[in-house]
Amino acid sequence: MSDADELRALDARHLWHPFTQAGTAPPPLLITSAQGAKVTDSDGRQYLDLVSSWWVNLHGHAHPAIAAAIAEQAGRLEQVIFADHTHEPAIRLAAGVAALLPGDLDRVFYSDDGSTAIEVALKMAHQYWRNHGEERGRYIAFEGGYHGDTVGAMSAGKSSGYFSAWHDLLFPVEMVPFPATWDGDEAIEAKEARALAALEQALAAGPVAAVLIEPLVQGASGMRMCRPDFLRGLEQRVRAAGTLLILDEVMTGFGRTGADFACVKAGIQPDLVCLSKGLTGGFLPLSMTVARDQVWQAFLGQELERAFLHGHSYTANPLGCAAGLASLELLTAPACRARIKAIEAIHRARLTQLAERPDVARPRITGTIAAFDLVGDEGYGAAIAPRLKAAFRQRGLLLRPLGNVLYLLPPYCVEDADLHHAWDVIDEVLDGI
Ligand SMILES: Cc1ncc(COP(=O)(O)O)c(C=O)c1O
C-alpha cells in the first residue's frame, strides 16, 4: 500500500469531514502541498483554489513571508494566557487593524474563528444594555444571513437554510428581508424600500439589543449582494432607533469587496465588527470582535460583573497574531491593492460575456467576488452542484458551487492567465452539463 493509499484508508476510517454527507460524497482529495493560488494532491495534480480555501486565503498558500513570521514567533513565544498577560503580536495586530477600520472602532477582543467572533458580539450587545440598566433581548438580522455554526450564530443565521436540525435549540432573532441584487436588476429600489420599511417596523416594536448584517455580500446563502446605498439607509434607521449595529465582516473583510472592509466601501460606521478568515492570511484560526469606544466604556467600573467575562484558551494566540501582522503588511502594499483591482476587472469582463448564455442569470460582482445563478433547480441541495464540482475538479479547478450558485473568490495572488483560464473552463463545463 502506498503512503497515499494508507492515508486515504485511515481518513475513511477515522475522519468526519465538515458539511459532508459521507454516505454519498466521493473520497476527499488528499492534498500534500500548496503554493500561490494552487493546491497539489498526492498524485501531483494541481488545482486552482478559486474559493480561497473556504474564503480564508488572501496572498497565496504557504506564502513565505507569513510562514517565516509564524516560524520566528513559534521559536520565541507560542502561547501565553491572555488574561493578566499581553504580548507584542496581539498589540500590534490590534493597532494595525484598528487603523484601517473607520472612526473609533479601536477596541479589539480576540477569539478563535468567525462563529466565536459573532457570539462575542451578540453577548457584548446584550451586556452593553444590561450595564446601562436595560434588559434588551431582541436581535434583528437579515433573511439569508449566515454567521457561523455555534448556537448564537445559528440563531442569527437561521434563515440561511443550514440549521433545520437544530431549530428547537435556537433563541429568537427577528428576520427582515435582504434586498439581494445583481447587474441589470430593475426592481432593486422597490426591494430596498421594502427591506428598510420592514426594518423600521421591527425597530419601532420595542427596544432592540442589536441589528446584525453581513455587509455588501451574504456569503454562504449564495453570494447574495446588496448595494452600499442600502447599508447607508440601514445605518440611519439603526441610529434613529438608538440601537447597536454589528457587522459580520468575517468573509467580506481584508479586501474581498475591493476596499479593506465593506463598511469602508459603504461609508458606514458600525458599533461592533466581527473579523476572521483573512485576518491571518488564511494560515491560522483567529478572530476579532472590534468595538467602538462607547461600547468599551460601558464595561468599565469597579464591579467584576460589569466586565465582559468571556474568553477562550487560545485567545490572541501569538502565532495567529504574527501571521496576521505579516498578512496585513502584504495587504496594505500597493502591489496587493493593484491585484485586487485587476481581479475585479477580469471578473467584470468575463462575467459580462458569460452572462449572455441563457443558462446564466443574476450576474453580480463585488470587488474580488464574482457570482451568478444557474437557471434551473435552486437551493443549496441543487442536484447540479456535485456534478459541477466533479467536472471542475477533473479540469483542475477547486470550485464549490453553493447549490445552483457558482462563484469565484480567488486569493489575490491569482495570476491573470489562470483566472482567465478558469472562466474559459466554466464556459466549457456549462456547455457540457
Ligand atoms: C459571514 C460569515 N460569518 C461567520 C462565519 C463563521 O466563521 P467560522 O467558520 O470561522 O466559524 C462564516 C463562515 O463561513 C461567514 O461566512
Q: Tell me: the pLDDT tens digits for 156-176?
A: 999 998 999 999 999 999 999
Q: Reply yes or no on whether the pLDDT at 377 is more than 90.
A: no
**Euclidean distance between CA atoms 30 and 68, whole angstroms:** 25
Following DSSP, what letter does each residue of 208-255 receive, concatenated? -SEEEE--SEE-TTT-EE--HHHHHHHHHHHHHHT-EEEEE-TTTTTT
Q: Which residue has the cell 459521507?
A: 22
The neighbouring-strand residues paired with 287 are: 111
The answer to whether 39 and 31 have CB atoms below 8 angstroms apart is yes
Kindly give the distance from the C-alpha atom of residue 146 to the centroid of ligand 1, in angstroms, as a whole number.
7
Nearest in space to 241 (alpha carbons), one of 287, 285, 210, 278 = 210
Q: Is 427 helix (H, G, I), strand (E, B) or coil?
A: helix
pLDDT of residue 380: 72
pLDDT mean over 266-294: 98
Residues 382 and 404: beta-carbon distance below 8 Å: yes
How many CB atoms sit inside 10 A of residue 86's CB? 12
Q: For residues 390 and 278, what is the distance between their CA atoms, to the nearest angstrom?
A: 27
User: Which pLDDT score is estimated for 113?
Assistant: 98
CA of 54 to the centre of ligand 1 (A): 9
Q: Which atom of ligand 1 lies nearest, measured to the CA of 148?
A: 6
**pLDDT digit string, tens, across residues 324-367:** 999 999 999 999 999 999 999 999 999 999 999 999 999 999 99
Average pLDDT over residues 207-231: 98
Kindly indicate the confidence band of residue 381, based on its pLDDT and cuts at 50, 70 and 90: confident
Cβ burial 211-230 (10 Å sphere, 16+ → b, else e): bbbbbbbbbbbbbbbbbbeb
As a whole number of angstroms, the distance between CA 87 and CA 113 comes to: 20
Pocket of ligand 1 from Cβ distances under 6 Å: 113-115, 118, 146-148, 214, 219-220, 248, 250-251, 276
Whole-number Cα distances in Å, 34 to 62, 396, 422: 6, 14, 18
386-415 tens-digit pLDDT: 999 999 999 999 999 999 999 999 999 999
- Let me know how many helices (H) and strands (E) the chain has, helices first: 14, 16
Q: Please answer whether residues 372 and 396 qualify as being in contact, where contact means their C-beta atoms are separated by less than 8 angstroms.
A: no
Ligand 1 centre to CA of 147 (Å) is 5
